[in-house]
Amino acid sequence: MDLSYSDEQIAFAQDVREFARANLDPRVAKKVLEGARLDREDYLGWHRALHKKGWVGVGWPKQFGGTGWDSTYQHIFDEVTADEGAPQLIPFGLRMVAPVIMAFGNKTQQDFYLPKILSGEHWWCQGYSEPGSGSDLASLKTKAERASDKSGDHYIVNGQKTWTTLGQFADWIFCLVRTSSEGRPQEGISFLLIDMKTPGITVRPIIMLDQEHEVNEVWFDNVKVPVENLVGEENKGWTYAKFLLSHERTGIAGVGRCKRIVKRLHHVAKQSTSNGKPLIEDTRFRDRLAQVEIELRALEITLLRVLDAEREKRAPGPEASLLKIKGSEIQQTLTELTMMAAGPAALPYVREGEGGGADAAWLSNDAYRYASGTYFNFRKTTIYGGSNEIQRNIITQMVLGL
């Protein structure tokens, strides 16, 4: 047993750090470190730099153009890039639809979609949840009916998806659609890939509690989708959906990002004051920071254990739910601590480039500019990707057998 990195792994970490310092736009890194909202190009600039280096397919096997890294290398990459202030790689293409296409798509689909996901040419979004189908995803109603005309065989899709993260930037959406109402709800679901430019698709913004546009409603009105865009078999989509969700859950843990926030909290806690002393001297605050740091270390080791155990398997098991629950809770604690550190400076609503917000240069501590907004925004983490209540149900049934 050994929890330390090998010389080779330490050298790799150094390579990643040097690459990030040479290729990451400092303006974007600053935004990431402060918690500011990123635009499409902020994400894509970093994505393209990684693609050029051959490092964008972090968890992908080499045969599809991935790095072929083992779980430890992936973790080092995540940790070091997060620490340098790199934007999160948008998971919808790389970590969600790509594994499904690799495992269940045909050769034509693999050849067409995977290189475009790697290059950043296709930005993907997720069409899972519907207004009446959140936790109970299998009850989804968006319908896809087979039809043919002189242009060929296709599906006609009608319905509505919601909570579509960054759908306003997306070129493609992967959707769960109902192709049959026979049998159990899970048995009539199919997995469709849909070009966002297809006529009949409308994207409407949903403004979140931090007053930002991050998620959307996506409406389908007689949207014609070629049958070639079906992944795997018709009515077997639920299997692929679950496969994808388990991938989402390991990614959601966000250990690298959490470590970055911890580091930043240490920095601001030394600068801020509480009752005339540096905040880090406030034992209540320091205990809270110590506590979450301890939990984060436990999460990190647990994540590495889960990834290691699953190296040989096709998909992460129900243990991934544990990582999602704990990771989201730690992320929320960290954003809450940052807001607490801000003290009264948490009150103003600051927004870049808008006359309505407080003059940022004026605020007592720039570090806290996005503190409250980030805290509010992160309430989503215990809700999305299967709420933490649903994750606990999964563990109850699949692990404990209760």
Contact positions toward another protein, by CB under 8 A? 129, 132-136, 139, 162-163, 206-209, 211, 272-276, 279, 282, 284-285, 339-340, 342-350, 356-359, 362-365, 372-373, 375-377, 379-380, 382-384, 387-389, 392
As measured in angstroms, the least distance from the Cβ of 142 to another protein is 16
Instruction: For another protein, give the closer residue by CB, 290 or 301.
Output: 290
| Cβ distance to another protein smaller for residue 233 or 389 | 389
Give the Å distances, CA to CA, from 142 to 124, 190, 228, 242, 341: 19, 10, 19, 18, 45
Q: Rounded to the nearest whole angstrom, what is the least distance from the CB of residue 303 to another protein in the complex?
A: 23
Buried b (16+ CB within 10 A) or exposed e, 386-399: bbbebbeebbeeee
**Cβ distance to another protein smaller for residue 334 or 339:** 339
Q: Tell me the one-letter amino acid at 136.
A: D
Per the CB < 8 A criterion, the answer to whether 194 and 172 are in contact is: yes
In angstroms, rounded to a whole number, what is the distance separating the alpha carbons of residues 235 and 107? 20
Residue 72 or 365: the one with the smaller Cβ distance to another protein is: 365
Taking the complex as a whole, how short is the minimal distance between the CB of residue 171 and another protein, in angstroms?
24
Which residues 6+ apart lie within 8 Å of 188 measured at CB? Answer: 178, 179, 180, 181, 182, 235
Residue 209: helix, strand or coil by DSSP? coil
Residue with tokens 């159990």: 184
> Residue 104 or residue 128: which is nearer to another protein going by CB?
128
* Closest CB 381 distance from another protein, rounded Å: 10
C-alpha to C-alpha distance for 349 and 15, rounded to whole angstroms: 39
- Residue bearing tokens 């039809």: 147
Q: Which residues pair with 191 in a beta bridge?
A: 176, 231
C-beta closer to another protein: residue 349 or 399: 349
At closest approach, how far in Å is the CB of 275 from another protein? 5
The distance of closest approach from Cβ of residue 123 to another protein in the complex, given in angstroms and rounded to an integer, is 22
CB of 202 to another protein, least distance (A): 18
Q: How far is the CB of 66 from another protein (least distance, A)?
A: 32
Identify which of residues 48 and 242 has a Cβ nearer to another protein in the complex: 242
Question: Measured from the CB of residue 77, what is the shortest distance to another protein in angstroms?
Answer: 30
Q: How far is the CB of 41 from another protein (least distance, A)?
A: 25
Query: Which residues touch 305 (CB under 8 Å, ≥6 apart)?
Result: none
Taken in order 87, 93, 95, 96, the sign of the CA dihedral is positive
Task: Report whether 323 contacts 388 (CB < 8 A).
Answer: no
- Give, to the nearest 10 degrees, the angle between helix 255-271 and helix 319-342: 20
- Report DSSP state, residue 398: I
What is the C-alpha separation between 12 and 86, in angstroms, rounded?
Answer: 17
> Under DSSP, is residue 42 helix (H, G, I), strand (E, B) or coil?
helix
**Alpha carbon 154 to its chain's center:** 31
CB closer to another protein out of 63 and 275: 275
Nearer to another protein, 45 or 373 (CB): 373
Q: What's the CA gap between 34 and 12, in Å, rounded?
A: 27
Is the Cβ of residue 68 or residue 205 nearer to another protein in the bound state?
205
